[in-house]
């Protein structure tokens, strides 16, 4: 009986052990199946494992579950030119959910060699996951780098800024034109175009041509159809000979590049990249003007010109005035040479000329006229011949020097005192002496009878001066109190003091500008300071707020005439241009006179 009970117990123990083994096996099977169903994938993929140093590499970090705290690797040996770009895909296929999240980077190699894309990390459901390192080989530059998946590369291949120069071998002071064209492929779209680096043209006289609103035109770039916009035009006059560089224009552009994705209506989805494009440095070879046939009085005029000297009248009386104008008109570097001087005989009093410029600058260069107007005043009766005046210039059409000479002008003074007569004698030593004979009385006699009267004795005590000296200090006390109070009020008026100080500085720098006529740099620095301090005084505006639009708006609000505002803005622009382009003494004198006139006009209108 006992033996049977022992056998039954042993059988039950064996059955229990088998059941435990089955339960453990089922548990393990369920755990493995669950792990297979919910396995997390986080891996790194590269667009290529071998690339040229001038190509781009795309790196994608993909995961099949959403996570937090993504950390990128260091990307040693590469520069990140795009990214991170994040994309999420969430779809249901046959009742099963498919999820993918990707972080994308675009890399540019810094040198050749073998590099390793390090491990990226992400936290998913409290667990940290890492990608495996990826090895990449960078070789020497390839002829045609390709990476169609890189939006930055696509933008680079379909966007080109070109500087078109009208002539690469001009003469000194011959006008050339630089037109900046932005070519855009129909495959991309652009927006938000702005300049980030404007050329200085340090070896040129330059003038930017306003182009207004950008207009899209059809054209070709390297044989392919492109759209283009003209985003800048500049006229240049080279001021040095030899090889000169034209600095590049640099633009920042937002480029919309199409992707392979589409919206719910089937339209293409675009990704936007910021692209910086430059026109590239252009080099021109400036030829010197020929020495053969160069006139001695040549002052640097290059172009095609007319020249004339005209008086407003030729008959008048003594002490009346007449005006004689020397004028050059035509096409060429009108602002970059000095006019010939007028020579007049003795007996005609000559004043400093008034310089006037009516010059337009368009795509072909400068055109118009410049003139010097001389005021002449005869002192005596008689006929005064004004000798001919010559003007020489270099003609670009014939590539020769030409000279234009005016006719002799005779001024007939009908009424007035007789002129002095000059008789020349030669002594034994051969020295010529001039004997001057003057009409009328040559001597004036002193008056002998002065009608002098004796001075009477006067005592200071109780005199008028005595009482004035006695009462003056008492009367001065209230005056001192009054002026002291005014002085305290003036000192406490911070805003008024700032205005008065700015006005004083404006007058000071304007006088400094006059002293520096002939020294271009110092003159225009002083002129600009004078204009800025004048604005501080009159408009209560700080230098940091002095944009041209704001100045024009404030002047208009203060009811200053539009023509006067435009002249003031023009003066500020002249000061800016003069820092980088040469200017003649005549132009500086004209700018100084213009500044004085405009400041006086604004004072009256305010």
* 493-605 belongs to CATH 3.20.20: no
Number of other CB atoms surrounding residue 321 within 10 Å? 13
How far apart, in whole angstroms, are the C-alpha atoms of residue 255 and residue 159? 9
Q: Is the predicted pLDDT of residue 430 greater than 70, yes or no?
A: no
CA trace torsion 390, 396, 397, 399 (10° rounding): 80
Domain ranges within the chain, ordered by starting residue: 42-145, 153-286, 303-413, 461-491, 493-605
| The pLDDT of residue 368 is above 70 | yes
Output the pLDDT for position 201: 87
Q: Closest Cα partner for 282 from 183, 159, 199? A: 199
Domain 42-145: give its CATH architecture.
Sandwich (2.60)
Task: Check residue 95 and give its pLDDT.
Answer: 64
Same fold, 303-413 and 493-605: no
Q: Assess whether pLDDT exceeds 70 at residue 22.
A: no
Collapsed DSSP state (helix, strand, coil) of residue 129? strand
When pLDDT is cut at 50, 70 and 90, the band that residue 499 belongs to is low
Confidence bin at 104 (pLDDT 50/70/90): confident
Average pLDDT of every residue of the chain: 80
Least confident of 91-105, 194-208, 307-321, 503-517: 503-517
- The yes-or-no verdict on residue 548 having pLDDT over 60 is yes
Q: Which fold has domain 303-413?
A: Immunoglobulin-like (2.60.40)
Q: Tens digit of pLDDT for each residue in 309-318?
A: 999 999 999 8
- Which tops the pLDDT comparison, 149 or 572? 572
State the CB neighbour count (10 A cutoff) for residue 133. Answer: 12
pLDDT digits (tens, 9 = 90+) for 299-357: 999 999 999 999 999 999 988 999 999 999 999 999 999 999 999 998 889 999 999 99
**How confident is the model over 572-603, as pLDDT tens digits?**
877 777 766 666 777 788 888 888 788 877 77
Question: Which tokens belong to 593?
Answer: 């006179």
How high is the pLDDT of residue 224? 85
Say what the pLDDT of residue 17 is. Answer: 64
Write down the pLDDT at residue 301.
95
């Amino acid at each position: 009986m006992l033996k049977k009970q022992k056998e039954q117990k042993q059988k039950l123990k064996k059955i229990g052990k088998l059941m435990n083994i089955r339960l453990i096996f089922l548990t393990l099977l369920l755990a493995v199946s669950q792990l297979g169903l919910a396995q997390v994938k986080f891996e790194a993929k590269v667009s290529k494992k071998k690339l040229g140093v001038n190509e781009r590499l795309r790196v994608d970090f993909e995961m099949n579950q959403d996570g937090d705290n993504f950390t990128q690797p260091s990307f040693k040996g590469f520069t990140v030119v795009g990214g991170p770009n994040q994309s999420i895909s969430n779809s249901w296929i046959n009742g099963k959910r498919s999820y993918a999240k990707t972080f994308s980077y675009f890399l540019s190699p810094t040198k050749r060699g073998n590099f390793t894309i390090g491990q990226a990390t992400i936290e998913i459901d409290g667990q940290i996951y890492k990608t495996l390192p990826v090895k990449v080989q960078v070789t020497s530059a390839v002829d045609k780098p390709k990476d169609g998946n890189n939006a930055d590369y696509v933008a680079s291949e379909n966007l080109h800024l070109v500087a078109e120069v009208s002539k690469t071998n001009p003469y000194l002071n011959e006008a050339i034109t630089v037109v900046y064209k932005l070519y855009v492929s129909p495959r991309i779209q652009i927006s938000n175009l702005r300049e980030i680096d404007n050329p200085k043209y340090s070896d040129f006289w330059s003038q930017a041509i306003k182009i207004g609103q950008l207009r899209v035109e059809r054209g070709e770039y390297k044989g392919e159809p492109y759209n283009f916009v003209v985003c800048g035009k500049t006229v240049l006059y080279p001021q040095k000979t030899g090889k000169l560089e034209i600095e590049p224009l640099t633009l920042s552009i937002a480029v919309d590049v199409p992707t392979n994705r589409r919206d719910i209506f089937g339209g293409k989805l675009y990704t936007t990249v910021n692209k910086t494009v430059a026109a590239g440095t252009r080099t021109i070879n400036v030829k010197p003007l020929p020495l053969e046939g160069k006139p001695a009085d040549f002052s640097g005029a290059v172009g095609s010109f007319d020249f004339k000297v005209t008086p407003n009248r030729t008959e008048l009386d003594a002490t009346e005035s007449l005006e004689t104008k020397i004028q050059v008109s035509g096409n060429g570097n009108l602002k970059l040479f000095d006019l010939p001087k007028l020579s007049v005989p003795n007996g005609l009093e000559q004043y400093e000329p008034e310089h006037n410029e009516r010059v337009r600058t368009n795509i072909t260069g400068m055109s118009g006229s410049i003139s010097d107007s001389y005021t002449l005043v005869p002192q005596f009766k008689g006929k005064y011949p004004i000798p001919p005046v010559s003007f020489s210039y270099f003609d670009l059409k014939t590539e020769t020097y030409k000279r234009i000479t005016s006719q002799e002008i005779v001024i007939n003074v009908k009424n007035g005192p007789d002129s002095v007569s000059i008789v020349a004698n030669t002594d034994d030593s051969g020295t010529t002496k001039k004997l001057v004979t003057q009409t009328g009385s040559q001597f004036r006699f002193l008056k002998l009878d002065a009608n002098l009267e004796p001075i009477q004795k006067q005592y200071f005590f109780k005199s008028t001066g005595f009482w004035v000296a006695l009462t003056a200090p008492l009367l001065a006390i209230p005056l001192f109190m009054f002026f002291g109070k005014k002085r305290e009020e003036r000192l406490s008026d911070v805003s008024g003091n700032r205005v008065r100080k700015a006005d004083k500085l404006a007058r000071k720098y304007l006088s400094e500008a006059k002293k520096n006529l002939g020294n271009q740099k110092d003159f225009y620095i002083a002129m600009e300071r004078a204009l800025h301090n004048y604005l501080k005084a009159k408009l209560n505006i700080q230098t940091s707020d002095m944009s041209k639009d704001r100045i024009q708006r404030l002047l208009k609000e203060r009811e200053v005439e539009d023509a006067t505002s435009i002249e003031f803005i023009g003066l500020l622009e002249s000061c800016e241009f003069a820092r980088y382009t040469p200017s003649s003494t005549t132009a500086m004198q004209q700018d100084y006179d213009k500044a004085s006139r405009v400041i006086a006009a604004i004072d009256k209108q305010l």
